[in-house]
Structure 1
């Protein structure tokens, strides 16, 4: 049986009843029941039957058109009138309601007309039913009301910024409409709402900032700015689209921070300088958080930080200079120790404090590490009371590591931390080679005289120096420590040898390797007979161990214990070899002249004067001198002071200190000449031909890890290498050099 054909008008009457019922449901008519399955099937089947009829009775296109007309009719007759009579927030509420109803209507009608979507629309590539429904609302409702809606939303945001409470869920629903109406694109949200909202945000914060910058201190202003930015972020979380966050915060930051950056940071009594001066850690942290989000916003903060630290460090240098001139200055009362040691302690404290600022307030940012480095490099390379910072650091290490120094007053942890801090400061010193030489000299004395407070701490600082400056920096120092350990083993074997060949007096010898230790002057001291026998015994023993090594005796480093027989009581004297040799002369003669002592000892005047001064003019007067002044002259006469007495039964008589600074500086200058020569040759060997400026630049770069070479010194060494046929000048261009193989 052939199915009955349905005319368009007949079919549409059935569908129109269903659509009317749907409209009543949407309008909330209480007496209108929901669709049941039978009603739904009648509507679906009607459309199916109409669409499956053979032409010319296939009314698919006409149904497709009427689908759109159904929306247009409802919008024109009901939706738009209800929206036009409402304003501001009430209009937004109605708009949200109408959009919600519209989506329901689209969903239901799309179900009724589903057969169109599956076959007719798919075959002709027409816009799907869902899209037709949304487009209809967009063209008829959204286009007319979008400006009013945007204005109403912005007005509510303005109220919220001013402190009023608003219906955030309403704003979210309205802005969701702006997003959904774009059907997968954000152009409606961005063009019709976001642009206007961002423009209003700019105006709002421009007004606020211009007022706050005049009224508030820097900390108060930053508090307000941070709170504003936090609230804007909160707005995005609650009702704005997530894509707005970066744009919104950028606009707010520009008006609040970028526009007034210099004015804010330079506020006279509350800007960054005042915050650093008054240790306002929390405010500095807030400043970093705020300006780290601004393009190049941290540059002025880092510059102010560098200047602040530089001024504090420079003030410490001046303070140390003043104290060196006036020993009664307050700094001497505050902290025990020499002015130079106090200076190093204060620089360590300064570094501890501001590295803490860098790590905590400035979140370990590289810009602030660089600023701190540049600040410390300024005053860590100044001379303090006639001494370089390299020398002061080496001397400070000595005060910590020597017996009777700072180590006995500090815990092991404190010592380790102090050594760690010294090595950190060394990183800022350009003359690291000068520190190495001063430190090596002092380390040698500690090791040779057994004056190290702790072998563990000695090894610890060498490890730290090695990590900071490289293995070459500490190779000789590590060699010294190892060498002394081997020397102790040799001494143990020698003591066993002495049991069979006793020399008559107890003595020990430390054998060192020349390459590791500083160079020392070898003297031709005429030893007393007792000591000569000891030297011969050891020489014979050592030759049985090895016959290809030459022994050079450094008597100036020797120590002797001698019993002094005085009238009151005997006193054991701990002396240097020179002092012991001089005193033993008085066993044979009660009185000797300066010239006689010099001739018998066979020492230069410098050593004779120092030795006799320590025995006759210093604290312990073992010898009497005529005339009885405080200086030793070639015409003086000396005699043994038998009346000498002391409450101690054992005393150490120190030698007057030797100023080694001049020799250390000379040695370092000599080593630098060799280093520059080696660097220039190394560069030229690799490059073959190189211009003067480039050669100097590469030489400075190569050597800067150990010291900052002077350009004049480099030029002089280049000239010397030319005379020694390592390099030659180009004949046509005198600023061009060639390497000679």
Structure 2
């Protein structure tokens, strides 16, 4: 068993440590800077053993032996002596300044780190058995504290000045030693971190105080001063484009500089400092420059500069982007108002001329909608490509378009124009007939986005419903797939209730197709009816068939989905009447709960005629006409000439109940006029003894076999029709407001008038924007109908108790 080494006298032991440890180590560091050149493995063991012998004592309980404290203090004194005699003297020489001072400091710091490491290893016994008992810093912490108090505190001002001087040289374009600066940064950090007794997350933040106070804060202040002076010249002399290029380059250079030789936590502070001095202080001035500011970029569509603008200001958050968004919104609003004013002028001029648009290609109102779509598409692409779909720019775009999209174009509202435009896209008689489906889909997508800005979506829906009904009933839709697609887009944007009627109309048409098929099967089973031989007849469908020689189809429509039509009676020819009776019998056999209300005047048909011999090449002519025209032309199977009064009486159904509406005299003349036009002279008009007489023009020479006759002019003007739509919308809004009031009151029971108006408005904003006065009127109306009651004392409304209710909610 090995015998432990005997204790040794402190003086003798220290002399050994000084002569064989400190002296050779410090001499080598001064000359070579490498402790490995000084000691061999055996020497290091002897030094560690000597430390043990000096600290050894037979004492087994605290306090620690005095030799250990003496050794600890003697090591501290020796380190301080070296720092004062060698290190401090070397770094405070008058010849050293700037970069040379920094290099010497880095050299001395590296030597000191070697010294501290050597002391910690050789005197480990003190760290293990003395430091904890005496509650003193570990040898490494003590060594770094000595460097800070003896050396660093004496030269930190000079070092900081040298660092800032090198940074300034780099900003001016000179090449500097970034590795040297990074080493200096590490010294500042170590001066705070390595003097802490322990390393924790909390102590790490506290340990950076020296770096923050001595280097980071002065660096940030110098950065502010530098860019304050530079940007003052940039803002005055440079265009906005050049200013942004300079700003972007400078910010990136400062961030690169930070990554190269500053602490990582300084990066955000440097960015914030640069943004404040370069961008914030000059933001309003450079953004509003006439020949190069933000408006100029938007007008010239300079997407690269707009992207750079967003990159620069977006890190500043909402504060940095709010002014840009404000100018952006004001510009869009001004451009939109100018567009609306110009389109109004065009439309007014067109109304005065009474014709179509330029070249007859499209109506002026369609040009207006296309201009709005192009404007919206342009700024939507800017938001997506240049502003990264930022919420603040989306909101600015929405606010700007809402300001001018809802302007009326004379007597026509934007909602009506949008409805007319969609009808033209989806109608065979409109623009959609000349476009492929992908083009129509694209335009419908853009239109739905524009509709989101309308404050009268219910008005748009009223027009769209009437137009869809017309397309479906007259079979003028470009494609039912496009119809469904458009309805689905509206549904996604405005919600399922908004498109419920439109979806119901499409469903009714599909169900009607099923009825045609089942009606044909029913007729084959129950009646002597043969399926139609379609042959080359392009005007019929596979589900059509002949009843008494007539090709017959019927649409079964739910009244709740379709617009209201005035019921007009007409005396149908016997074959048509038989078809109606047969379908009525079929339908009643399928269901007893529903009642059919026929509207034959909304139908159309194809008449085949061999009466016109003007063109020998065409034997049979197929005429596509409405129900009234069918009834009139079939009268000429018996006579070639008919007086006006006979035709008029022939259309009146004598069996109709009293109060039934018929065509008036003016409408009848308009109807006969469609059969006497220069283009379609089926009848000729001449004067007789008892009034006008209409004769069949057998000499008419049609240029092709199939002809579609024009419909008579509307009985009411476009202004009257528009007024009727507006009136219907107003009535619907009254019901919507009342419904919203009831729902709100059902939820709250008691609510102040102001809060009630606010909540009702919020519920209806998706459909239309109700006026406060209209809400108040509906409240008064509901009070009279015994729904909510008013408390006059606090202007509140409450739900009437159950015992007082006349209507259940």
Equivalent residue of 1:462, what SS?
helix
State the match for 2:331 in structure 1: 308
What is the match of residue 620 of structure 1?
680
Aligned residue among 561, 564, 568 for 2:614: 568
Partner of 1:110 in structure 2?
120
Note the alpha carbon deviations across 1:357-416, whole angstroms, 9 max, x for none. 111211111101111111221222122353222222222222222225433433333222
- What is aligned with 2:80? 72
Equivalent residue, structure 1, for 2:51: 47
SS of the counterpart of 2:458?
Answer: helix
Q: Which position in structure 2 is the counterpart of 1:62?
A: 70
Secondary structure of 1:364's counterpart equals coil
**1:222-237 to 2 correspondences below 5 Å:** 222-237=244-259
Tell me, yes or no, if structure 1 residue 271 matches structure 2 residue 290: no
Judging changes above 3 Å, is the alpha-carbon distance between structure 1 residues 131 and 593 closer, same or farther for their aligned structure 2 residues? same
Q: CA deviation at 1:641?
A: 3.6
The two structures have a TM-score, normalised by structure 1, of 0.93
SS of residue paired to 2:621:
strand
CA contact (8 A) 1:336 1:342 kept: no
Verify the 8 A CA contact 1:416 1:457 in the aligned structure 2: yes
- Can you list the C-alpha shifts for 1:173-212, whole angstroms capped at 9, x where unaligned? 1110000111250111111111111111110010011111
Change (3 A) 1:669 1:641: farther
SS at match of 1:651: strand
Cα shift readout 1:549-573 (whole Å, capped 9, x = no counterpart):
3222212211122245235146332
Q: Residue 651 of structure 2: which of 578, 586, 601 is its match?
A: 601
Kept after mapping to 2: 8 A contact 1:50/1:58:
no
Partner of 1:7: 9
SS at match of 2:137: coil
Match of 1:691 among 752, 770, 777: 752
Residues 1:387 and 2:385 aligned together: no
**Contact in 2 for aligned 1:83/1:91 (Cα 8 Å):** yes
Report 1:572-651 matches (<5 A): 572-588=622-638, 591-592=641-642, 594-602=644-652, 603-605=662-664, 607-617=667-677, 619-625=679-685, 638-651=694-707
Determine if contact 1:690/1:738 at 8 Å carries over to the other structure. no
Contact in 1 for aligned 2:750/2:796 (Cα 8 Å) = no
Distance in 1 separating the partners of 2:571 and 2:4: 144
Unaligned ranges ≥5, structure 2? 195-203, 530-546, 653-661
Match of 1:435 in 2: 460
Alpha-carbon distance in structure 2 between the residues aligned to 1:148 and 1:627: 119
Following the alignment from structure 1 to structure 2, what is the Cα–Cα distance between the partners of residues 727 and 618?
65
Deviation at 1:354, TM superposition (A): 1.4
Aligned partners of 2:592 and 2:798: how far apart in 1? 48
Instruction: Please give the per-residue CA displacement for 1:274-320, whole angstroms capped at 9, x wherever unaligned.
Output: 11111111111111111112250100111122122222322332232
Q: How far did 1:334 drift?
A: 9.1
Offset at residue 627 of structure 1 (A): 7.8
Q: Where do residues 368-383 of structure 1 align in structure 2 (5 Å cutoff)?
A: 368-383=393-408
Question: How big is the shift at 1:646?
Answer: 2.8
Cα contact 1:310–1:379 (8 A) shared by 2: yes
- Asked whether the equivalents of residues 6 and 53 of structure 2 are also in contact (C-alpha less than 8 Å), the reply is no
For residues 74 and 173 of structure 2, what CA distance do their matches in structure 1 show? Answer: 50
Partner of 1:195: 217
Please report how far the alpha carbon of residue 8 of structure 1 lies from its aligned counterpart in structure 2 after TM superposition.
Answer: 2.9
Shift of 1:619: 4.2
**3-state SS in 1 of match to 2:512:** helix
**8 Å Cα contact 1:50-1:57 kept in structure 2:** no
Q: Which residue of 1 aligns with 2:655?
A: none
Other-structure match for 1:142: 152
**Counterpart mapping for 1:343-492 below 5 A:** 343-492=368-517
SS at match of 2:606: strand
Deviates more, 1:618-627 or 1:657-666: 618-627
Change (3 A) 1:561 1:178: same
Cα 1:594–1:738, aligned 2, differ >3 Å: closer, same or farther?
Answer: farther
State which drifts further: 42-51 or 614-623. 614-623
Q: 5+ residue gaps in structure 1?
A: 629-633
Q: How far did 1:523 drift?
A: 1.1
SS at match of 1:716: helix
* Alignment partner, residue 566 of structure 2: 521
Give the direction of change, closer, same or farther, for the CA distance of 1:617–1:716 in structure 2 (3 Å limit). farther
Q: Alpha-carbon deviation of 1:589?
A: 5.3
Q: Deviations over 1:203-250 (max 9, x none)?
A: 001001111101111111111111111111111211101111111111
Q: Which residue in the other structure is 1:631 paired with?
A: none
Q: Which residue of 2 aligns with 1:249?
A: 271
2:164 pairs, out of 154, 157, 168, with 154
Q: Would you say how many aligned residue pairs link Structure 1 and Structure 2?
A: 735
Q: Distance in 2 between matches of 1:272 and 1:738?
A: 55
1:132 counterpart residue number: 142
Secondary structure of the structure 1 residue equivalent to 2:710: coil
